[in-house]
Structure 1
Amino acid sequence: MAVLKAVGVITAAFLVIMLMGYWAAGRARPALDAAIRADLVKLGFAYTFVELGDGVVHYRLEGPAGGPLIVLVHGFSTPSFVWNDYFAPLTAEGYRVLAFDNYGRGFSDRPNTRYDADLSDRELDELLDKLAPGEPVHLVGYSMGGAVSTIFAARHPDRVRSLTLIAPAGLGVAAAQNAELLKRPLIGDWIVRMFGLKIFHAGAADQAKFSPNPARFLADFDRQMDYRGYGDALLSTLRHYPLAGAEAAYAEAGGSARPVMVVWGEADDTVPFINARKLMELMPRAKLYSYPKIGHEIGFSESPMLAGLIARFLDSQTPSTAGATPAAMRLEPRQPAGN
Structure 2
Amino acid sequence: MAVLKAATVITVAFLLILLMSYWAAGRARPVLDVATRTLLVKKGLAHAFIELGDGTVHYRLEGQPGAPLVVLIHGFSTPSFVWDNYFAPLRGAGYRVLSFDNYGRGFSDRPDTIYDANLTDRLVGELLDKLAPNEPAHIVGYSMGGATATIFAARHPERVRSLTLIAPAGLGVSTNENVELLKRRFVGDWIVRMFGLKIFHAEAAEQSKYAPTPARFLADFDRQMDYRGYGDALLSTLRNYPLTGADAAYAEAGQSRRPVLVIWGEKDETVPFANASRLMTMMPRAKLYSYAKLGHEITFSQSPMVSGLIAQFLNSQSDASAGATAPAMRLKARPDAVPAALPATEQAQ
TM-score range, shorter chain: over 0.9
Query: How far apart are residue 329 of structure 1 and its match?
Result: 2.8
Match of 1:61 in 2: 61
**How far apart in 2 are the matches of 1:175 and 1:227?**
27
User: Equivalent residues in 2 for 1:193-204 (5 A)?
Assistant: 193-204=193-204
Equivalents in 1 of 2:270, 2:110: separation in Å? 25
- In structure 2, the residue matched to 1:175 is 175
Contact 2:292 / 2:333 at 8 angstroms: preserved in 1?
A: no
Q: Does the 8 Å CA contact 1:276/1:336 hold for their aligned counterparts?
A: no
Give the letter aligned to residue 40 of structure 1.
L
Which residue of 2 is the match for residue 21 of structure 1? 21
Aligned to 2:274: 274
**Mean Cα deviation higher: 104-113 or 172-181:** 172-181
Task: Indicate the residue corresponding to 1:147 in structure 2.
Answer: 147
State the partner residue of 1:221. 221
- Distance in 1 between residues matched to 2:111 and 2:285, nearest whole Å: 37
Identity %: 72
Amino acid at match of 1:208: S
In 1: Cα distance, 2:151 partner to 2:63 partner: 26
In structure 2, the gaps of 5 or more residues are 336-349
Aligned residues: 335
Q: Is the Cα–Cα contact under 8 Å of residues 52 and 127 in structure 2 kept in the other structure?
A: yes
Contact 1:22–1:193 at 8 Å: present in 2 too?
yes
Give the equivalent residue in structure 1 for 2:329: 331
Q: Helix, strand or coil: the match of 2:180?
A: helix
Cα distance, 1:311 vs structure 2:
0.3
Q: Which amino acid aligns with 2:19?
A: L
Q: Could you tell me how far apart the structure 1 residues matched to 2:183 and 2:150 are?
A: 25
Deviation at 1:3, TM superposition (A): 2.5
1:207-239 Cα offsets, whole Å, 9 max, x none, are 000000000000000000000000000000000
What does 1:77-88 align with in structure 2 at a 5 Å threshold? Answer: 77-88=77-88
Task: For residue 88 of structure 1, give the secondary structure of its aligned residue in structure 2.
Answer: helix
Q: Distance in 2 between matches of 1:152 and 1:303?
A: 24
Q: Residues 243-275 of structure 1, C-alpha deviation per residue, up to 9 Å, x if partnerless?
A: 000000000001100000000000000001001
Contact 1:274 1:336 in 2 (8 A): no
Helix, strand or coil: the match of 2:105?
coil
TM-score of the superposed pair, with normalisation by structure 2:
0.94
Helix, strand or coil at the partner of 1:178: helix
Residue in 1 that maps onto 2:185 = 185
Structure 1: give runs of 5+ residues left out of the alignment. Answer: none
- Secondary structure, aligned partner of 2:84: helix
Q: Is the 8 A contact 1:268 1:294 kept in 2?
A: yes
Q: CA deviation at 1:327?
A: 5.1
Instruction: State yes or no: 1:116 paired with 2:116.
Output: yes
CA drift at 1:8 = 1.6
Distance in 1, Cα, partners of 2:132 & 2:147: 21
Runs of 4 or more consecutive aligned structure 1 residues displaced over 4 Å after TM superposition: none
Q: Name the Cα RMSD after superposition.
A: 1.6
Deviation for aligned residue 1:319: 8.3
> Is 1:101 aligned to residue 101 of structure 2?
yes
Q: Which amino acid aligns with 1:147?
A: A
SS in 2 for 1:328: coil
For 1:8 and 1:173, how far apart are their aligned partners in 2? 44
Asked if structure 2 preserves the Cα contact closer than 8 Å seen for 1:48 and 1:60, the reply is yes
Residue 283 of structure 1 corresponds to 283
Structure 1 distance, partners of 2:7, 2:325, is: 75
Match in the other structure for 2:343: none
Preserved contact between residue 104 and residue 230 of structure 2 (Cα < 8 Å): yes
After superposition, give the CA deviation of every residue in 1:180-228 in whole Å (9 maximum; x if it has no partner). 1111111111110000000000000000000000000000000000000
Name the SS for the 1:5 alignment partner: helix
Letter in 2 for 1:13: A
